[in-house]
Structure 1
Amino acid sequence: MTIMRWCLAAAALVPLVVVGAETPAVRPPATSSAPVPAGTFPPCVSAAVGALSLEERAGQLLMVGVPANAPRGLGGLVARYHLGGAFLSGRSVRPAADLRGDLAALRRRVEPPLLVAVDQEGGSVQTLKGPDFPLIPSARRLGAGPKAVLRDTVRDNAGRLARIGVSVNLAPVADTVPAGLGEGNPPIGAFHREYGSDPVRVAEDVRTVVPASQGAGVLTILKHFPGLGRVRANTDTSTRAVDRTATVGDAYLEPFVAGIDAGSAGVMISSASYPRLDPEAIAAFSRPIVTGLLRDRLGYTGLIMSDDLGAADAVESVPTGDRAVRFVDAGGDLVLTIRPQNVGPMIAALLAAARGSPVFADRVTDAAAHVLHAKYRAGLLSCA
């Protein structure tokens, strides 16, 4: 999610009107990606998934935007749909103690507790500010400096987030922006969100960031796979974000591989098009990219989440519920929508597809297991 979308996010969140029954314009998928092999998850994760109803499993696949200034206000929605996560949307300068209380109240509305996510990259993308959350330099600035400063900055930021109950930071940006493009890249380069223009150097920084954050108690999400650094349009505000260079052997995949090797709990899929990887679908809806490239070729076994599928112009032409089904069918696990009013249609569509296809029902179960495994890694699900 990029800068222009922040203003839209705040408007989308108030007032809240929960819609429950938009007829999903979807058809049950005929095929889907194979479930993760047995034994991948700890026994308590498998047991927790097995104890959930289909409705609860579908709910785990949704992360909804909640106002950073008043997150507990959407507790009813979270409880009604058994949601898996909440994303702090907008901006806040509230004290840490106040946010801690609100997030604790929100987490208590559902069991297992919510993953609470935030965009706390630094630079232009920093949700939480104020005395308790000092300004963080941009990734470009940190990437140009010593690795020790990068590590210590990330560790300090993660510690502050963990202490208020945030379990996931939607970072680091693993996109590489070519030196010749720079600020001509609207989603990343224009805001200095990249660590650099050399994928080898970016990979080194990502390899530093992941353990620094996760060691301090906040899971990382590598974004935006397979890379947004070469596009000339923003998926939040355009349908014309295309990378015509990316292939399965692309050097710009190296930072993602580095983050995977470092143990990142999650990877976020972009909503741009990559015709040499899949000429038919954007990355978020592409089985060749999500399953074929990320899962199978790169061997990634962690959580796969979407970029915003609620307000982004890149998916506007796709019916709301169908967006969730297409992402999950492609191999994704956790759907992000900054619009609370999208939750009802998305859940309805996932349930309709699962009830119409045993294969897709298995995919829902597998995706829910990935979400619960992330909660296990975040300390929200105990195996004791």
Structure 2
Amino acid sequence: MIRFRPAGLLVATVLTVATLAAGCSAPAGEPGPSSIPGPAQSSTPSSPTPSPSPSPSASPSSGGATPSADASPSASGATPSTPPAADPAPAEPDLSLVAGWTLEQKVGQVVMVGLPVKGPFQPTFTMLRDQKIGGVFLAGRTQAGRQPVKNLVNAAIAASDSPVPLFVATDQEGGAVQVLRGKGFSTIPSALDQARLTPSDLRARSKVWGQELALAGVNLNLAPVMDLVPRATAASNAPIGAFDRNFGYTSTSVITHGDAFAEGQRSAGVQTAIKHFPGLGRVTANTDTTAGVTDTVTGPNNPSVTVFAAGIKDGTGLVMMSSAVYARIDPKAPAVFSPKAVGLVRQHGFHGVIITDDLSAAVQVQSVPAGQRAVRAVDAGVDLVLASAKPSVAPAMVDALVKAARQDPAFAAKIDAAAARVVAAKAGL
């Protein structure tokens, strides 16, 4: 088992609590829980504290026996080593990566939990240990600078019981959506301003921004936004256009500059998640604060979809699903719960990790119990469930995923595939 136990953890944690709490802010007028979760939640099941942001904001996303490989966990907790019998087909996940793991270890890789940068920290640390969760999302706002963030990341790594390194993610798009600020972090312009740079200049600047993240211990940026926003309706496009999160107004601009941003990040060792498939550029309501948000324009061959195909071809490691409903793709379910919408990602040749937008606090998915949100997403073909804005629901998600896998071998196979994709995506960390 790969474990990281940095020295001076107690000191680091104390410094983190003091410095990050003093340095965090969530200014009014910035996007809400999906991109920048609001105030930290406790681990109790009480109602979340309302986000300080206005409603325009980034969208969140949404009985057989246990397989024999899960039946006999190692007494020491170490990950058994089972070499593959043969190389898997390129389009299939390499199941040998999780062979011999317990079901709980596999499910832990399929969930990413919020770690509020101004606390409380311990509820998330406890989930990392007890639920074996394999990823954290640095949530909120901090202006404390690099070292306190690094201290917090080190403390999360030390608390983790994941058999492989953690995904440590955040939203560092620029403009209104930049979680980490202060000494050691550049002030990043909005995507709309980034689109005014030449692609080579943007790529070089993004590499610097990625290096800053890497030095703070962040290895995954849930960016860039590749939503295609029509110029004429940008102001009324609550999640994206209203906050200048789009790389211009044409497919060419979005592809050229979105890819340049992503390439810069990845060249710095930070993986990327292009978002929010199949596009949030035409909705007017915000799925964080409104139910029933529906796109009636975007179909499978719409330019809003083909810009993501370009980002996939460029090499992104993750694709984030929207939680809006797309009437011309699947009118019966939010994209994040839709096999048709998730399958469309795979049809474009993507074999990496498909991640949800936040499924913990979005009003769009609140009619579905928290555990079933995770089950429905994985059943639709999603690999990684994000519970960032209200991390206290993550244990219910883990429990529901474990229960569903124990009851249904077909669902257990989906857990195996999802965990294998996540572990493969971490190979370079």
The answer for the alignment partner of 2:115 in structure 1 is: 66
- The 2-side partners of 1:138 and 1:251 are apart by 22
The answer for the alignment partner of 2:75 in structure 1 is: none
Among candidates 304, 308, 316, match of residue 366 of structure 2: 316
* Mapping 1:1-384, distance limit 5 Å: 3-5=31-33, 9-11=37-39, 13-17=40-44, 38-40=88-90, 46-70=95-119, 73=122, 74-108=124-158, 109-110=160-161, 111-291=163-343, 293-295=344-346, 297-338=347-388, 339-377=390-428, 379=429
* Residue range with higher mean Cα deviation, 252-261 or 353-362: 252-261
The alpha-carbon deviation at position 258 of structure 1 amounts to 1.4
The alpha-carbon deviation at position 207 of structure 1 amounts to 2.1
Given that residues 121 and 138 in structure 1 are in contact (C-alpha distance below 8 angstroms), is that contact kept between their aligned partners in structure 2?
yes
The alpha-carbon deviation at position 243 of structure 1 amounts to 1.3
Q: TM-score scaled by structure 1?
A: 0.88
When residues 6 and 221 of structure 1 are mapped into structure 2, their CA distance, relative to the original with a 3 A threshold, is closer
Encode CA deviations 1:199-220: one digit per residue, 9 max, x unaligned. Answer: 1221111221222111111000
The alpha-carbon deviation at position 95 of structure 1 amounts to 2.8
Structure having the larger proportion of residues in helix:
1
- The 2-side partners of 1:70 and 1:41 are apart by 40
When residues 107 and 48 of structure 1 are mapped into structure 2, their CA distance, relative to the original with a 3 A threshold, is farther
Q: Which has the larger radius of gyration?
A: 2
Instruction: Give the letter for the 2:117 counterpart.
Output: A
- The 2-side partners of 1:18 and 1:162 are apart by 33
Which ranges of structure 1 fall in alignment gaps of 5 or more residues?
A: 20-26, 29-36, 380-384
The alpha-carbon deviation at position 249 of structure 1 amounts to 1.0
When residues 70 and 113 of structure 1 are mapped into structure 2, their CA distance, relative to the original with a 3 A threshold, is farther
Given that residues 41 and 120 in structure 2 are in contact (C-alpha distance below 8 angstroms), is that contact kept between their aligned partners in structure 1?
no
The alpha-carbon deviation at position 8 of structure 1 amounts to 9.0
The alpha-carbon deviation at position 40 of structure 1 amounts to 3.8
When residues 41 and 229 of structure 1 are mapped into structure 2, their CA distance, relative to the original with a 3 A threshold, is closer
Instruction: Give the letter for the 1:49 counterpart.
Output: V
Between Structure 1 and Structure 2, how many residues are aligned? Answer: 358
The alpha-carbon deviation at position 321 of structure 1 amounts to 0.5
SS in 2 for 1:182: helix
- The 2-side partners of 1:71 and 1:95 are apart by 19
* Residue range with higher mean Cα deviation, 174-183 or 61-70: 61-70
- The 2-side partners of 1:51 and 1:154 are apart by 39
The alpha-carbon deviation at position 94 of structure 1 amounts to 1.9
Given that residues 370 and 393 in structure 2 are in contact (C-alpha distance below 8 angstroms), is that contact kept between their aligned partners in structure 1?
yes
SS in 2 for 1:254: helix
Instruction: Give the letter for the 1:172 counterpart.
Output: P
Encode CA deviations 1:167-206: one digit per residue, 9 max, x unaligned. Answer: 1000000001101101110000010000011112211112
SS in 1 for 2:147: helix
SS in 2 for 1:372: helix
Given that residues 146 and 182 in structure 2 are in contact (C-alpha distance below 8 angstroms), is that contact kept between their aligned partners in structure 1?
no
SS in 2 for 1:376: coil
Given that residues 172 and 206 in structure 1 are in contact (C-alpha distance below 8 angstroms), is that contact kept between their aligned partners in structure 2?
yes
SS in 2 for 1:196: coil
- The 1-side partners of 2:106 and 2:173 are apart by 30
Q: Work out the percentage of aligned pairs sharing the same amino acid.
A: 39
The answer for the alignment partner of 1:33 in structure 2 is: none
Which ranges of structure 2 fall in alignment gaps of 5 or more residues?
A: 1-29, 47-62, 65-86
The alpha-carbon deviation at position 131 of structure 1 amounts to 2.2
Instruction: Give the letter for the 1:159 counterpart.
Output: Q
RMSD of aligned alpha carbons: 2.2
Q: TM-score scaled by structure 2?
A: 0.79
Task: Using CA pairs under 8 Å that are at least 6 residues apart, name the structure with larger relative contact order, 1 or 2.
Answer: 1
Given that residues 34 and 288 in structure 2 are in contact (C-alpha distance below 8 angstroms), is that contact kept between their aligned partners in structure 1?
no
Given that residues 203 and 264 in structure 2 are in contact (C-alpha distance below 8 angstroms), is that contact kept between their aligned partners in structure 1?
yes
Instruction: Give the letter for the 1:68 counterpart.
Output: V
Instruction: Give the letter for the 1:305 counterpart.
Output: I
- The 2-side partners of 1:82 and 1:41 are apart by 27
SS in 1 for 2:326: coil
Given that residues 203 and 254 in structure 1 are in contact (C-alpha distance below 8 angstroms), is that contact kept between their aligned partners in structure 2?
no
Encode CA deviations 1:148-176: one digit per residue, 9 max, x unaligned. Answer: 33112211110000111101000000001
* Residue range with higher mean Cα deviation, 227-236 or 338-347: 338-347
SS in 2 for 1:280: strand
The answer for the alignment partner of 2:52 in structure 1 is: none
